[in-house]
Amino acid sequence: MEKTKVGIIGLGTVGTGVAQLLLDHGDRTARHAGRVLWLEKAVVRDLKKHRDCDLPQGILTDNVDEVINDPEIQVVAQLIGGIEPARTIMLRLLKAGKDVVTANKALLAEHGAEIFDAARELGRSVAFEASVAGGIPIIANIGQCLSANQVSSLHGILNGTSNFILSRMQEGDDYAAAVAEAQRLGYAEADPTMDVDGTDAAQKLSILAHLAFGARAHWKDIPCTGIDTLDVTDVEYAGEMGYKIKLLAVAELVDGGLELHVSPTLLKAGSPMAEVSGPFNAVRVDADAVGRLMFYGPGAGQMPTASAVVADMIDTAVGRTKLTFQTLELWSNRPARVSAADYANARGRFYLRVDVEDHPGVLAQITKALGDQEISISSVLQHEATTPGDDIPLVVMTHATTEGAAAKACEAIASLKCVSGAPVRMWVRD
């Protein structure tokens, strides 16, 4: 049987899983690839660190040049996180004639153009299934399986950490306790900022928007709110009204172009996306020929992510990746096929929570601020104060309006004397 020599750069969580699959299940990869994927080198920073895999002699090295300069290594999984040295190593691998597989969404979202241009110029390929939605093969499904379709919208729960935290809050934890539990179980990093502030989801959404719509949106230009502004009372109020809160990444073709945003969103309980709980991800795709598809699975974790990386390595070794890569529109030098729609024009319903003083006339002032923006109210929820004189939360669900109008109304509400703090605002979807 033919042999394709492969390398791994980075033996952390994901890299170790990839090494395990290649070493312990070589028969399986050989059967599916029609060739042996032979692990030749694995590069780490610290040779002394314990690794959870039995590496044969001579594989481990702390010198990346041993991979870059080995002309026999054809496919390399680049599994260092962050921007540098990942970016430089990526470019050096491509220049050295290697096809690359990566799970690093931050790098692609930041330097995708440079990396994809280099690969195209050099006749190489970059596979990145693991960079979005972990074990769910969403890149292959959109990039290959839906090629007869025009996608009209993508709704994704793309950050498993946030989703886990929201699920815990659903069960009564406050935000801090939920974060601590996520850290204890390994779902959140010591510093979970990029997960909870929406950055990670926005980076993944930008990759999907490139792929599905031929958009050229940089993730920093995607309006993005995280779950770090939420309070457990919001989860409770949402529940009382029959909704669950999810951090939703949305890309939707509308008249004005492509609407993109990441926002905590109230989804009707019982709807498929609302019921995705724990560290899972889901992507709902609407497309003109196929209609609605939904994909559900683990959005991160060692073996789910390794599953996606090794599938990419097989596709690359077999030659499929190269054929797909040639027509992918990701960061291509062609002009964008769609421009970003003005977020202020995005239409939807909103949930607003305002902490107000408990005296007569307050509701009238809030209603007026909304009315000034021509926002009509669908329902109001306010419980009796437990301690008289305390501020109490007032929850308003609006009818359909625009994001811009809702934002202006919230500004006006925030400046009212009877209101303390900024209103919490979320999208509401059925």
Rounded to a whole number of angstroms, the minimum distance from the CB of residue 339 to ligand NAP is 29
Distance CA 362, CA 364 (A): 5
- Binder to ligand NAP among 32, 55, 81, 180 (CB under 6 A)? 81
Which residues, including other chains, have CB under 8 Å from residue 410's CB and lie 6 or more apart?
352, 422, 423, 425
- Verify binding: residue 19, a second copy, rule CB under 8 A: no
80 lies in the site for ligand NAP, by CB under 6 A: yes
d(CA 303, CA 22): 12
From the list 290, 364, 380, 400, which residue makes contact with a second copy (rule: CB under 8 A)?
A: 290
Check binding of 49 to ligand NAP (CB under 6 A).
Answer: yes
Closest to 167 measured CA to CA, from 295, 240, 274: 274
CA proximity to 115, closest of 105, 106, 126? 126
CB atoms within 10 A of CB 417: 8
Residues 82/87/89/93 CA torsion (nearest 10 deg): 130
> Does the footprint of ligand NAP cover residue 410 (CB under 6 A)?
no
What are the strands of the beta sheet with 36-43, ordered from one edge?
60-61, 36-43, 3-9, 73-78, 99-102, 126-127
Q: What is the H or E stretch that residue 42 is in?
A: strand 36-43
Query: Is 15 marked within a binding site?
Result: yes
* Residue with tokens 């699959």, as numbered in its chain: 21
Residue 100 sits in the site that holds a second copy (CB under 8 A)? no
Say which of 5, 41, 98, 204 is annotated catalytic. Answer: 204
Does 16 show up as a binding residue in the annotation?
yes
140-159 positions binding a second copy, by CB under 8 A:
140-141, 144-150
Neighbours of 189 (CB within 10 A): 13
Q: Which of 7, 112, 135, 423 contacts a second copy by CB under 8 A?
A: 135
- Residue of 29, 74, 161, 305 that binds ligand NAP (CB under 6 A): 305
Matching residue, tokens 């020599």: 5
Nearer to a second copy, 26 or 81 (CB): 26
Residue 130 in contact with ligand NAP, rule: CB under 6 A: yes
The annotation status of 371 as a binding-site residue, yes or no, is: no
Q: Considering the complex, what minimum distance in angstroms separates the CB of residue 263 from ligand NAP?
A: 22
What's the residue count for the chain? Answer: 430
Q: Which one, 42 or 410, has the nearer CB to a second copy?
A: 42
Closer residue to ligand NAP in complex, CB, 13/199 = 13
Binding segment (CB under 6 A) for ligand NAP, from list 44-52, 265-273, 329-337, 338-346: 44-52
Minimum distance, C-beta of residue 251 to a second copy, in the bound complex (Å): 18
- Which residues touch 409 (CB under 8 Å, ≥6 apart)? 352, 369, 370, 372, 373, 375
Active-site annotation holds for 417: no
Q: Which does 320 bind (CB under 5 to 8 A by kind): a second copy, ligand NAP, none?
A: a second copy
Partner whose footprint covers residue 130, from a second copy, ligand NAP, none (CB < 5 to 8 Å by kind): ligand NAP
Using rule CB under 8 A, residue 292 touches a second copy: yes
Q: How many residues bind ligand NAP, per CB under 6 A?
A: 23
Segment interacting with a second copy (CB under 8 A) among 115-123, 222-230, 288-296, 367-375? 288-296
391 DSSP 8-state letter: -
| Helix or strand (DSSP H, E) at 218 | none
Contact between residue 329 and residue 337 where contact means Cβ atoms under 8 Å apart: yes
Integer Rg of the chain from CA: 24
Spatial contact of 30 and 36, defined as CB atoms under 8 Å apart: yes
Does the annotation flag 14 for ligand binding? yes
Report the candidate in 430, 406, 153, 378 with the shortest Cα–Cα distance to residue 265.
430
Task: Choose which of 301, 348, 393, 423 interacts with ligand NAP (CB under 6 A).
Answer: 301
d(CA 304, CA 27): 19
Question: Considering the rule CB under 6 A, would residue 311 count as an interface residue with ligand NAP?
Answer: no
12 binds ligand NAP (CB under 6 A): yes
DSSP H or E run through 396: strand 392-398
End-to-end CA distance of the chain: 53
The reply to whether 314 sits near a second copy by the rule CB under 8 A is yes
Site of interaction with a second copy (CB under 8 A) = 17, 21, 25, 28-29, 31-34, 129, 135-137, 140-141, 144-150, 270, 272, 275, 287-298, 301, 303-304, 306-311, 314-315, 318-320, 323-324, 326-327, 329
Catalytic (active-site) positions: 204
Annotated binding site for NADPH: 105
Residues binding ligand NAP (CB under 6 A): 10-15, 43-46, 49, 64, 79-81, 85, 103-104, 130, 134, 300-301, 305
Residues flagged as binding site:
9-16, 105, 189
